[in-house]
Amino acid sequence: MYEDVPTPAVKSTPKKSEASPQKKKPVEKDTEKPAAKKRGPSKDERAAEIASLFKCAAARRKKEGVEELDKPPGLPNCLAGLTFVFTGELNSMSREESTEVVKRLGGKVTTSVSGNTTYVVAGEGAGPSKLKKIEELGIRQVSEAEFYDLIRYRPSGGKLTEKQKEAQEKAEKQMKEEAKRMEKEEQATEKAQARKAVVAGREGIAAKRGPALSSQLWTTKYAPKTLKEICGNKGLVEKLGTWLEAWPANYKANWKKPGKDGSGSFAAVLISGPPGIGKTTSAHLVAKLKGYSPIELNASDARSKKLIQNATNVDNASLDGWFAGGGLTKDSAAGLEINSRSCLIMDEVDGMSGGDRGGVGAMNILIKKTRIPIILICNDASTPKMKPLNGTTWPMKFRRPSNTEMRARLMTIAFKEGLKLEASALDTLIESSQSDLRQVLNMLSTWRLSKQAMSFEDGKSLGKESQKYTIMTPFNIVPALIGPYAFSKTSRQTLNDKLDLYFQDFSFVPLFIQENYLKNAPARIPKGDDPESQMKRLECFSKAADAISDGDLIDRMIHGQEQHWSLLPAHGFSSTIRPAYWIYGGSSAAGYNPVSFPAFLGQNSKRQKLARLLGDIQIKMRLKVSGSRDEVRQDYMPLLASKIVLPLTRKDEAADAPESIIPYLDEYYLNKEDWDAFVELGVGEMKGETISSRIPAATKAAFTRAYNKVDHPVAFHRGELLFAGKKGTAPRPDFDEAFDEQEAPAGDEDDADAETPDPNADLGKDKLIKMPKPKRASKATPAASKAPVKRKKKD
């Protein structure tokens, strides 16, 4: 198997894939078993063979003085034709590094064990389910040192089996044939354009020629022209074509024939999915293949409510003008010609905002009145603004195409453009772009401008530079923080990297950690049910709980009155990173999803509601009783509930209960809504659901009628007397800049003296001060003004 390796002393039967043509005859002796079920040598023979081979490699490694876990460089494509599965934790490499090494050297890595797996590299803490399946399938299991031996001593180019060689030759042949077909189509297109230009020149018409094919973007140049060229979602594309074919018949049937899939009840389709996976391209291609003329409106066009109503003729008066004699005549809308074979495509519908105000509602009205097919396209159909379209459109959710579906198409394009592209490099680009076919084509076309080949390292660096920035959700962040290898010795994530995960959503991530930390099995504790392991596991949970408590204290300082927002990094370490450090590992239950939504959010909402109800009751009862909210809840309400709630549950008192309850309510200024709050605030035997089931519906209705018959006192209070805060008790906010006292600049003393008022100044000359005018004698009372004169004459 390796060069210069001594021949093993143990006699072994070669694998069926590695057997030479001359040694195939002895395999035919086993004629009773079907050919498909032959798996080559037995398990014992295979184990002896692999043990002997790796024993020889170990001897050679010892002779050369190579350390056991020294990472070898490996020859180019030395792992070609091999498929690996990694399980457990390696001593010198992380899972990402080992996967990268295999891909760089031409191998393939899968996550699940199957009959196509060549080797399983098992490390510490290997999964028992995988090990069991390995034994059942008889797959070779190797250690980390033996994995390095494969890299160190396997020749360049590897050793492909006959089956792998046939598959590789077949793929290359198909790629060349497809490239030739694409070349012929391009030549035919160029000839047709040249012919049109000549004819137009003879007739004296200026020919409208587009850009040459050689200068077009690859996304335009290699846009799918047939359904076979579409990558992924072919089943949904076929359904879209079937829906378009049946649209005229369903329209005549007034959408009353839904069919097997229910598509016959909808006049419009809503296609949703991530960007760059071919939603718009598929809609245009299917519409053209089915004989429709697509009319597209996207985010670059104004799509307001008024424009949609006018441009697409929503109103019945203009819509009916399209039809004459039962058929649709030619008309124009938004500058485009519309007829019975038109198809409206609305792209980026979920992007309607701002200038597109009201566009979704107008589109919904248009769907109900339309007489042509409508295809709506969006990225996320679950957003609130898309709710009006849920009942009027047939949903189609496009998914990202797989690497295999994209690889064949992209390798053909690269071969045609003269770009030598390694399959591992292409897989790296696909993963970094999140299966965005459009972005991968743009990256390849840019690379081709300066270079003619792309290696795995080139693809890795290019993918890292062009990687999409996406905001992760807590359901992705928490597994990255408490996963099996999050804090292992081979993890390459720094504390800052983990802190960045916390800052992705620093409000929800701590809540998710608090909800899920008890459901993990810490990797630092050996698995087992012995008392010692259980005690160590409890210690890990205790330390994680202490860290979460510290995080709550810091959170109170951040969101309290002082608002120390500079403590956010400390809060991230205490509430998220430290607990994850103690409890990282796998799930404690087989098949259990380790990420659960925080139950605190629902309970906290219920707590706030009950606190609000209790506050309303306490405010009204405070006019008669003295006590805080807690005292009213613990001392007054249980006794009062026995007077206003329990009588309704007793059959012997049910008739007179309403009249006896109402005086108690009026005494404490409580109304019917407060009585309902009493019931909802009950606990134990007085719990709301329990006590409500004991009150007959007739008794409750009689109580409501009796309460509504009479008038009741209404509590009146001043809000500032109840909610006024205590002065001087709140801590001073930590806003130093707001309280910095600046020194007065030079010369302010003179200005201060100048502003001091002069007591001898004449205020009447000041323009800013209005002096009161002297009062004049009133003409209506002349006797009053002459009275003092008469008194003087008497004297």
Task: Give the strand pairing for 374-378 and 83-87.
Answer: unpaired
Tell me how crowded residue 12 is: count the other CB atoms within 10 A of its CB: 16
Which structural domains are found in the chain, ordered by start? 21-160 (3.40.50.10190), 233-397 (3.40.50.300), 403-465 (1.10.8.60), 474-597 (1.20.272.10), 602-720 (no CATH)
Identify the pLDDT of residue 358: 61
Indicate the pLDDT class of residue 256, thresholds 50, 70 and 90: confident
Question: In angstroms, rounded to a whole number, what is the distance separating the alpha carbons of residues 544 and 120?
Answer: 35
Considering 69-83, 346-360, 556-570, the range whose residues carry the highest mean pLDDT is 556-570
Query: Residues with Cβ < 8 Å from 7, sequence gap 6 or more?
Result: none
pLDDT at 34 > cutoff 80: no
Question: In angstroms, rounded to a whole number, what is the distance separating the alpha carbons of residues 638 and 623?
Answer: 19
φ and ψ at 643, to 5 degrees? -100, -25
pLDDT at 568 > cutoff 90: yes
Identify the pLDDT of residue 625: 87
Lowest mean pLDDT among 318-327, 472-481, 529-538: 318-327
Identify the pLDDT of residue 30: 42
Average pLDDT of the chain is 76
Indicate the pLDDT class of residue 118, thresholds 50, 70 and 90: confident
What are the pLDDT digits (tens) for 458-467? 888 888 888 7
Distance in Å from the first CA to the final CA of the chain: 149
Tell me how crowded residue 525 is: count the other CB atoms within 10 A of its CB: 18
CA torsion sign, 673 to 678 to 680 to 681? positive
Position 385, amino acid: K
What are the pLDDT digits (tens) for 631-668? 888 888 888 888 888 888 887 777 788 888 888 998 99
For residue 52, give both structure tokens: 């002997």
Task: Give the strand pairing for 83-87 and 119-122.
Answer: parallel
What are the pLDDT digits (tens) for 183-230? 887 778 778 777 777 766 665 555 555 556 667 788 888 888 888 888
Identify the pLDDT of residue 202: 62
Partners of 343 in the β-ladder: 294
Lowest mean pLDDT among 53-62, 214-223, 398-407: 53-62
What are the pLDDT digits (tens) for 593-628? 568 888 888 888 888 999 999 988 988 888 888 888
**Three-state secondary structure of 592-629:** CCCCCCCHHHHHHHHHHHHHHHHHHHHHHHCCCCCCCH
What are the pLDDT digits (tens) for 299-339? 655 554 445 544 444 333 333 333 333 434 444 444 456 67
Percentage of the chain lying above the pLDDT 90 cut: 12
**Three-state secondary structure of 206-230:** CCCCCCCHHHCCHHHHCCCCCHHHC
φ and ψ at 197, to 5 degrees? -65, -40
φ and ψ at 536, to 5 degrees? -65, -35
154 versus 662: the higher-pLDDT residue is 662
Indicate the pLDDT class of residue 544, thresholds 50, 70 and 90: very high
Identify the pLDDT of residue 781: 47
Question: In angstroms, rounded to a whole number, what is the distance separating the alpha carbons of residues 795 and 792?
Answer: 5
pLDDT at 735 > cutoff 80: no
Identify the pLDDT of residue 100: 84
Longest dimension (CA), the chain: 161
φ and ψ at 737, to 5 degrees? -65, -30
pLDDT at 550 > cutoff 90: yes
Identify the pLDDT of residue 736: 46
Q: Which residue has the tokens 């195409």?
A: 401
**Cβ(488)–Cβ(89) under 8 Å?**
yes
Q: What is the mean pLDDT of residues 499-517?
A: 91
Q: Any long-range contacts for 647-650 (C-beta under 8 Å, 24+ apart)?
A: 648/695, 648/699, 648/700, 648/703, 649/691, 649/694, 649/695
Indicate the pLDDT class of residue 62, thresholds 50, 70 and 90: low
**Cβ(637)–Cβ(678) under 8 Å?**
yes
Question: In angstroms, rounded to a whole number, what is the distance separating the alpha carbons of residues 573 and 570?
Answer: 5
Indicate the pLDDT class of residue 719, thresholds 50, 70 and 90: low
319 versus 725: the higher-pLDDT residue is 725
Identify the pLDDT of residue 227: 83
pLDDT at 503 > cutoff 50: yes
Indicate the pLDDT class of residue 395, thresholds 50, 70 and 90: very high
Question: In angstroms, rounded to a whole number, what is the distance separating the alpha carbons of residues 565 and 60?
Answer: 61
The predicted model scores a pTM of: 0.60
Q: What is the mean pLDDT of residues 439-454?
A: 90
Identify the pLDDT of residue 578: 94
